[in-house]
Amino acid sequence: MKRKLIICLLWCATGLAAMAQSKSNKIEFTEYTLPNGLHVILHQDNSTPNVAVSVLYHVGSKNEEKGRTGFAHFFEHLMFEGTENIDRGQYMSMVQAAGGSLNANTSFDRTYYYELLPSNQLALGIWMEAERLKGAKVDQTGVETQRKVVQEEKRMRVDNQPYGTLLENTFGLAYKEHPYKITPIGTFEDLNNAKIEEFRDFYKTFYVPNNATLSIAGDINVEETKKLIEQYFGSIPKGTKAIPRPTIKEPKQTEERRKIVYDNIQLPAVIQAYHIPAQGTPDHYALSMLTTLLSGGESARLPKALVDKQQKAVAAQSIPFPTEDPGLFLTYAIASVGTEAQVLEDAMNAEIERVKTEPLSDKEFQKLRNQIESQFVQQNSTVAGRAENLANYHVYYKDANLINTEIDRFMKVTKEDIQRVAKEYLTKNNRVVLHYLPKSAEKK
């Protein structure tokens, strides 16, 4: 317990130290590529004795073959089974015994692994990630174990969770051709039908140095860290297979699509999803600021209008999905007791129309800019956040230095830009609408 408390205090101190820095302070980093294709990014911050070791694999659910969905997310679990030199089930306990923590996540576009460790355990983190890359246990025992784990996760988080199928139904309705139509968790059928050879082929294709970015941030010495990286990663061979990248483009949507979902819920919900450009495009930044305008805090437009003033909803929010290919801009609200879904939808539409027709005041726009700046600083307030953002910027934008400069792209957005993107993208013909209704409302 004492060790956990100390580690917690160290991580808190890291965040406070970073927040105390001026927003103008540049985040320095070193980056290079090993002969085997592994891209390395190192950020030295000796303010507190901890370190984040992370590896981003440029593979997400959009890279999966038809009929074999869920593989990327499945590997997020399978890669903790162990390696040739780490016994099955010991991965997590080894990191915890060293006073650290670890986790992973999967999206449409990437799979990300990380360890947060005391800096004197840097070598352990590097070695363990190298082990995962060169010799993970992709065997029948591990596959069968993780099949059950993933299926139980889907039951708990999606199938049996109120509103749990929201993203599954929304993306499935919004996309007809692009792989984004299937969310990362995939389907039971595809995972159950997959053979061990297919899992091994996925590993050999995507878990290779030339499809990975190693990002380390924290209390390190850059030159010593380079030696450790060469020692553990340098001998891992480059992948020999071409890495599949989907080229499918989603056809332009020309009319509204609607769906009713009867769920185990008490209160109706309305979800609206609009097609938007990929992350990093100029309009992406205006749309991101529009999201903050609509739902960035309790005083934002959606909660203020729907929850506070009209009391038609108990929650209302706007969520953009920044993805490598063109994504979605979601607005959703959960109705208050006695409010019908259509009434709630009409109220949501009115707020969207207000953005299109009423110019932002200077005061509201300045508040919005302040919020964006604050969010940008917060994202880089810990070494863990910096390690992840450096990897993201390199993989998605081919420019890790955006960790210092992307805020400039937000600050170039004008009031007129926000109103323009609302008019251009938040249109009826460009959206899907879902009504989530209680099962009791379904006609027998």
Domain locations in the chain? 2-14+29-233, 257-441
Please give the pLDDT value at position 443: 81
Measured in degrees and rounded to the nearest 5, phi and psi for residue 225 equal: -65, -40
The string of pLDDT tens digits covering residues 275-325 is 999 999 999 999 999 999 999 888 899 999 999 999 999 999 998 888 999
Residue with tokens 């099955």: 88
Core vs surface per residue 168-177: b (16+ CB within 10 A) or e: bbbbbbbbee
Please give the pLDDT value at position 89: 83
Is residue 117 within 8 A of residue 124, CB to CB? The reply is yes
CA distances from 187 to 46, 147, 151, 222, 360 (A): 45, 11, 9, 43, 44
Residue 211 banded pLDDT, cuts 50, 70, 90: very high
Q: At residue 21, does pLDDT exceed 80?
A: no
Task: Give the percent of the chain with pLDDT over 90.
Answer: 85
Entry pTM: 0.92
Residue 6 banded pLDDT, cuts 50, 70, 90: very low
Please give the pLDDT value at position 299: 86
Residue 24 banded pLDDT, cuts 50, 70, 90: low
H/E run at residue 21: none
CA–CA–CA angle 107, 111, 112 (5° rounding): 115
Top-level class of domain 2-14+29-233: alpha beta
Distance of CA 171 to the CA centre of its chain: 15
Concatenate the DSSP letters of all residues of 286-352 into one string: HHHHHHHHHHSSTTSHHIIIIIIIS--EEEEEEEEE--SSSEEEEEEEEEPTT--HHHHHHHHHHHH
Distance of CA 139 to the CA centre of its chain: 28
Report DSSP state, residue 63: G
H/E run at residue 217: strand 212-218
Euclidean distance between CA atoms 394 and 403, whole angstroms:
10
Q: Structure tokens of 406?
A: 């992307």
CATH 1.20.1290.10 fits 257-441, yes or no: no
Cβ–Cβ contacts within 10 Å for residue 147, how many? 18
H/E run at residue 140: helix 140-154
Please give the pLDDT value at position 338: 96
Lowest mean pLDDT across 13-17, 48-52, 140-144, 237-241? 13-17
Lowest mean pLDDT across 17-31, 149-163, 171-185, 358-372? 17-31
Please give the pLDDT value at position 344: 98
Does this chain's domain 2-14+29-233 share its CATH topology with 257-441? Answer: yes
Concatenate the DSSP letters of all residues of 379-399 into one string: HTSSHHHHHHHHHHIIIIIS-
Euclidean distance between CA atoms 402 and 409, whole angstroms:
10
